[in-house]
């Protein structure tokens, strides 16, 4: 299984290209909310950024909080989101200990699926897809 890692965030300039790539390439939208990865400043103006995305928990709290089985376990950890089963209650967002669940413009959760599409678009090679 391959998983997304933000291994070189010291290089990050906060351009958010990874977020927009995820929204467009994975979800077909151009929206900050429709991204499985979010970049936030950790206090600096041009340096010091943090990436927030699913950390592939072995025992995902979001999965256990979902009342409709819209989240199913992913082999190796993390979850797979089935939008057609989601009722939009956002219990998964409330349960996530690392705030990795965002909400798109229609009120549905968005969770990183570790596809790696954002990796090649990062101009400073801050992200990588690793085998675990």
Is 21 part of a structural domain of the chain?
Answer: yes
Predicted confidence at residue 48, as pLDDT, reads 86
27/18 Cα distance (integer angstroms): 13
Q: Could you tell me if residue 131 is inside a domain?
A: no
Exposed, middle or buried, 94 (CB in 10 Å: 0-12/13-18/19+)?
Answer: exposed
Judge whether 70 lies within some domain: yes
- pTM of the model as a whole: 0.87
Render pLDDT for 42-53 as a digit per residue (tens, 0 to 9). 876 766 899 999
| Domain count of the fold of the chain | 1
- What's the CATH number where 10 sits? 3.30.70.20
Residues of the domain holding 27: 2-125
Low-confidence ranges of the chain (pLDDT < 70): 44, 46-47
**Is residue 43 situated within a structural domain?**
yes
66-92: per-residue pLDDT in tens? 999 999 998 888 899 999 999 999 999
Q: Establish if 26 belongs to a structural domain.
A: yes
Please indicate, yes or no, if residue 72 is contained in any of the structural domains.
yes
Domain presence at residue 87: yes
First to last CA, the chain: 6
The verdict on residue 62 lying in a domain is yes
């Amino acid at each position: 299984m391959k998983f997304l890692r933000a291994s070189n965030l010291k290089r990050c300039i906060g351009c958010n290209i990874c977020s927009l790539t995820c929204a467009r390439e994975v979800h077909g939208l151009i929206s900050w909310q429709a991204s499985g990865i979010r970049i936030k400043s950790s206090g600096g103006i041009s340096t010091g950024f943090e990436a927030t995305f699913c950390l592939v928990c072995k025992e995902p709290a979001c999965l256990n909080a979902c009342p409709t089985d819209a989240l199913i376990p992913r082999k190796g950890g993390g979850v797979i989101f089935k939008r057609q089963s989601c009722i939009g209650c956002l219990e998964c967002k409330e349960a996530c200990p690392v705030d990795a669940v965002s909400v798109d413009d229609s009120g549905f959760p968005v969770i990183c699926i570790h596809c790696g599409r954002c990796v090649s678009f990062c101009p400073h090679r801050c992200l990588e897809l690793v085998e675990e």
